[in-house]
């Protein structure tokens, strides 16, 4: 099951950093369980049009993703 709070947390994190690169060790701002879900969430958010990627495993918010984050829209 997709956790909407985790999606918003991830999108907020990406928004603050401008772009993220997935790392094997994960991100310190997230728990181990959350880090385990991030690759799948990035894939799903990209498929939904909220994230884009210029390089493998590097993601940034699309304008649609930025708008969804501003409105805290239900995603998924």
pTM for the structure as a whole: 0.86
Using one digit for the tens of pLDDT, what is the confidence trace for 11-70? Answer: 999 999 999 999 888 999 999 999 999 999 999 999 999 999 988 889 999 999 999 999
Helix (H, G, I), strand (E, B) or coil at 60: strand
Q: At 11, list the tokens.
A: 């999108």
Q: At 30, list the tokens.
A: 């997230």
The range of the structural domain enclosing residue 40 comes to 4-71
Residue 73 CA to its chain's centroid (Å):
14
- Whether 40 maps to a domain, the answer reads yes
Q: Is the pLDDT of residue 73 over 80?
A: no
- CATH code, 35: 1.10.10.10
- Whether 18 maps to a domain, the answer reads yes
Report the number of distinct structural domains present in the chain: 1
Tell me what pLDDT residue 57 has.
Answer: 87
Distance CA 52, CA 31 (A): 24
- Whether 16 maps to a domain, the answer reads yes
- Whether 76 maps to a domain, the answer reads no
């Amino acid at each position: 099951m997709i956790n909407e709070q985790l999606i918003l947390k991830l999108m907020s994190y990406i928004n603050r950093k401008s772009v993220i690169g997935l790392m094997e060790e994960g991100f310190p701002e997230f728990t181990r369980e959350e880090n385990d879900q991030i690759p799948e969430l990035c894939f799903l958010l990209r498929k939904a049009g909220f994230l884009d990627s210029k390089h493998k495993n590097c993601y940034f918010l699309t304008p649609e993703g930025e708008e969804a984050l501003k409105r805290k829209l239900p995603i998924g």
